[in-house]
A and B are shown apart, each in its own frame.
Chain A
Amino acid sequence: MREEDVMLKLKEAFGDKVSDFKTAPRRVFFYTPPEYYKEVVRFLVEKLGFVHLQAITSIDLGKDLEVIPHLGRGLTVSVRTRVPKDRPVVDSIVDVIPSASFHEREVHDMLGVEFKGNLNLKRILLPEDWPEGVYPLRRKSRVAPPEPIRGGGR
């Protein structure tokens, strides 16, 4: 399947719920609002055959948080969706792809996105006694790289 075919099939099935398409050799990126996110992912997995979930990325864009699952084997399709930072709730895709549970746990640890429907949102990358509400990859906790230690003598 080529990138243009994927784009056409998505536009046919979802109309203007999918937008902002960008393609590169064997890569497709597009945006969908969070209400249709799970439907779009289910369509990609069940109807178009992109069964392999590669990763789920998350970005802090200032006022919003963006969640991007990457699907596919030969062709990589990245579905972008955006939620506001004060209410970061996204539907979980665990019932479509079981191994998404680990990736969603990582996103929850690092950026604090709540995945509705994933009952197993325990710590995976941070220690168990890490304080609640502190999300390392969020913008405001920006630190400069530490100063190198300049020694002189023993």
Chain B
Amino acid sequence: MAMVTEVLKHLFKKRATLMYPFRDRDKIHVPEGLRGKISFSRELCIGCGLCARFCPSGAAELIEDDKGKRPVFHIDQCLFCAQCEEVCPRKAITLTREFEIASFDRSDLIVK
């Protein structure tokens, strides 16, 4: 009974829920520091392996290729903790603001 006046006031107000993803996709406010999908630039990497050593979930895997050692990131294992970004000595790894990364195919979720 104590909330009756509040409930009646809300009959004339806008709905609080955003109908994402069908209608209100542009109304989503993504803050600047959001930890989203990893982006990796191969040119800056020196193959130190610190990202693979400190990744909590094993998402960063170190492999050998013709230019030396480099990591491959498996986004389906990633925790989005940004520890790899923090520990990389050459700033080759950044976490972008992209959060819509669901997919039907695991090979979409590999960042080389």
Q: Is the CB of A148 within 8 A of B74?
A: yes
Complex interface bits, B95-112 against A, C-beta within 8 A gives 1, otherwise 0: 000000000111100000
Contact pick for A148, options B59, B104, B105, CB 8 Å: B59
User: Helix, strand, loop or mixed for chain B's interface?
Assistant: loop
Q: How far is the CB of B77 from chain A (nearest CB, A)?
A: 5
Candidates B59, B61, B74, B105; contact of A154 at CB < 8 Å:
B105
Q: A154 with B76: in contact, given A148-B57, A148-B58, A148-B59 (CB under 8 Å)?
A: no
By a CB distance below 8 angstroms, the chain A residues around B76 are 151
Say which residue of A145, A148, A153 sits within 8 Å of B77 (CB atoms): A148
The answer to whether B74 touches A150 (Cβ under 8 A) is yes
Q: How far apart are the CA atoms of A151 and B58 in the complex, in Å?
A: 13
Report A-chain residues with C-beta under 8 Å of the C-beta of B74: 148, 150
Kindly supply a per-residue 1/0 record for chain B positions 68-112, scoring 1 wherever the CB is within 8 Å of any chain A CB and 0 otherwise.
Answer: 000000101100000000000000000000000000111100000
**Are B106 and A154 touching (Cβ within 8 A)?**
yes
Q: A110 CB to closest chain B CB, in angstroms?
A: 23
Q: Which of A125-154 contact B (CB under 8 A)?
A: 145, 147-154
Q: How far is the CA of A152 from the CA of B105 in the complex (A)?
A: 8
